[in-house]
Chains A and B, each alone.
Chain A
Amino acid sequence: AQSVAQPEDQVNVAEGNPLTVKCTYSVSGNPYLFWYVQYPNRGLQFLLKYITGDNLVKGSYGFEAEFNKSQTSFHLKKPSALVSDSALYFCAVRALNSGNTPLVFGKGTRLSVIA
């Protein structure tokens, strides 16, 4: 079975400071990993994905994520947070060899960037 854990319901960070939103996963075999962002009353927007290759993945809006196979983690990071980054962030996973099974999403982490 596939699963995703986002251990923090809420992350608060001051504008200009670095931010990290945590994600750990469980799959059989190698994972496809994704991060999405959701603004109020909107659908989810794709930020970045990890398939294979470099463990540091760069995405939209200055976000990046680091894949750590030994820790089964895929934390989202940004060097300098903006107030406009305040939103709900979702991590998602699917096993590489699972055919076309649906993505499994975490429960989401609400990021609040304070000016």
Chain B
Amino acid sequence: DGGITQSPKYLFRKEGQNVTLSCEQNLNHDAMYWYRQDPGQGLRLIYYSQIVNDFQKGDIAEGYSVSREKKESFPLTVTSAQKNPTAFYLCASTPLSGPGDYGYTFGSGTRLTVV
């Protein structure tokens, strides 16, 4: 089955550590997105990429980094510069060809906790 896979499901980070969240899709979608979800704040866009080797900052990119070396993969690194990283992280993808009325397919999320 085609889909979008996020791993790990749960991740614990010590103070000062960088951690990387994985997002892989086999839908042949062009664009991929990272959102952060906090209670009562909805989904906030961190980074997105519409083509390999190119990506754009979203609304809350500080303290995060991404890469898009392959169409299928869009890993997110939470760096030590992110002061409040505890949150639920969601990856999404969508095709870009066609009329543009496609919604997003979401992964199941990664819950990151600072310990």
Interface residues of A (CB under 8 A from B): 9, 32, 34, 36, 41-46, 49, 51, 90, 92, 96, 99-100, 102-103, 105-108
Residues of B near A42 (CB, < 8 A) are 108-109
Residues of B near A96 (CB, < 8 A) are 100
CB<8 Å pairs between A and B, sample of 18:
A36-B106, A41-B88, A41-B109, A43-B6, A43-B92, A43-B107, A44-B43, A46-B103, A49-B101, A51-B101, A99-B100, A100-B96, A100-B100, A102-B45, A103-B103, A103-B104, A106-B42, A107-B41
Alpha-carbon distance between A32 and B94 when the two chains are bound, in angstroms: 14
Residues of B near A45 (CB, < 8 A) are 106
Interface residues of B (CB under 8 A from A): 4, 6, 31, 33, 35, 40-43, 45, 48, 50, 58, 88, 90, 92, 96, 99-101, 103-109, 111
Residues of A near B33 (CB, < 8 A) are 102
Decide: A102 near B43, CB < 8 A? Known: A43-B106, A44-B90. no
Decide: A32 near B100, CB < 8 A? Known: A44-B90, A100-B31, A107-B42. yes
Is A105 a contact partner of B58 (Cβ separation < 8 A)?
A: no
**Which residue of chain B is the closest to A42 with respect to CB atoms?**
B108
Decide: A32 near B101, CB < 8 A? Known: A41-B109, A45-B106, A100-B96. yes
- For the complex formed, measure the closest distance between the CB of B46 and the CB atoms of chain A, giving whole angstroms: 11
Most chain B CB atoms below 10 A, which of A43, A92, A103, A105: A43
Residues of A near B92 (CB, < 8 A) are 43-44
Is A41 a contact partner of B104 (Cβ separation < 8 A)?
A: no
Residues of B near A44 (CB, < 8 A) are 43, 90, 92, 104, 106
**Which residue of chain A is the closest to B42 with respect to CB atoms?**
A107
- For the complex formed, measure the closest distance between the CB of A95 and the CB atoms of chain B, giving whole angstroms: 10
Alpha-carbon distance between A9 and B42 when the two chains are bound, in angstroms: 10
Residues of B near A92 (CB, < 8 A) are 103
Not counting A9-B40, A107-B41, a sample of 19 additional A-B residue pairs whose C-beta atoms are within 8 angstroms of each other reads A34-B103, A36-B103, A36-B106, A41-B108, A41-B111, A43-B92, A43-B109, A44-B43, A44-B90, A44-B92, A44-B104, A44-B106, A46-B104, A46-B105, A96-B100, A99-B100, A102-B48, A105-B42, A106-B42
